Structure formats: C-alpha cells, structure tokens
Amino acid sequence: METISNARAASDTRHRIDHPNSRRRSIKLIGIGAGGARIVRATGAMALRNVDAVVPDKDSVAKMVDALQDLKDADMIFVVACAGDDLGMAPLIKQIVGRSGVLVTGILIQQTIGQQPVQAGLAVLRAASDMLVIASDESYVADMLSELGA
C-alpha cells in the first residue's frame, strides 16, 4: 500500500466531490514590473485551466484600464512582482478590483533568501493586497496555481 503525505492527500483532486465549493474558479494572474510580467508570461504559456495571465500595458493608461476592467469577473486575483520591480500599478489594480469585492493576493518573489525585502516596494504591494505572500522561488506561482486545481 502506497503511503502519501498529508500534503499530497489534501491536494489530490481525484476524489473531489461535486459541491458548489469545489467548482473551478476563474483566476486572474497579473504581472507588474519587469520580473512580474516575465513570470506571468511564463506561467501563462503553461496553459493552465481557468487561469488568465494579464500583463497590463503601463505605457498606455487606456489599454491598462481596459485590461484591468476585465478583472472584475474573477474569483481570485493574484498580483505577481519581483523585488525591485516598479509596483506603481498595484494601487490602481486594488482600486479597480476592490469595488467588485474580489480579494487581491500579492505575491512578491525575492530570490535571495535572508535578504531584506525592498521596503518601499513591499509597503506598496502590502497596501494594495488583501494578503501578501513573499516567496523565494519563481516556481512558487505555478506550483500554487496547480494546487488550486488550475
């Protein structure tokens, strides 16, 4: 008999019941800054189910606002950035999405373990998120989405 860890058993979806709480969720993954955009594009290329990868065009405010308006129909929104990225777009995302009641989770990728996060960027992303995750590996984003059933 195969022994599996509790973590794997909890993420195993083979026995998922047909219940309103177990339905697939519409997930929007937004990349801001150069590093966040790179991670989201790479994750979007994986063709995960029910995940829309969005990289707003910061050079055109009209295009950026149009892209962000499509976020209102999401069940989950994740904003991805890397330490040192320009996070100026994060408050705008929170403002547009906040009206719809969808929670925003910020994910800051900081690859050097033990290094203090860039405090200014961290404060901006923390203020623009309902929950903030700091991860040391870019693969965290794809792994997290897989665990969510994407």
The pLDDT tens digits for 38-60 are 999 888 778 777 888 888 777 76
Residue 79 — very low, low, confident or very high, per pLDDT cuts 50/70/90? Answer: very high
Residue whose entry in the numeric block shows the structure tokens 């870019």: 138
**What is the Cα–Cα distance from 121 to 25, expressed in whole angstroms?**
29
pLDDT value for 1: 47
- How high is the mean pLDDT of the chain? 77
Domains of the chain (ranges, CATH numbers): 24-147 (3.40.50.1440)
Task: Provide φ and ψ at 17, rounded to 5°.
Answer: -85, 155
What burial class does residue 100 get, using C-beta atoms within 10 Å of its C-beta: 0-12 exposed, 13-18 middle, 19+ buried? exposed
Residue 64 — very low, low, confident or very high, per pLDDT cuts 50/70/90? Answer: confident
* Residue 77, beta-bridge partner list: 28, 104
Predicted structure pTM score: 0.76
Average pLDDT for 14-29:
65
pLDDT value for 48: 77
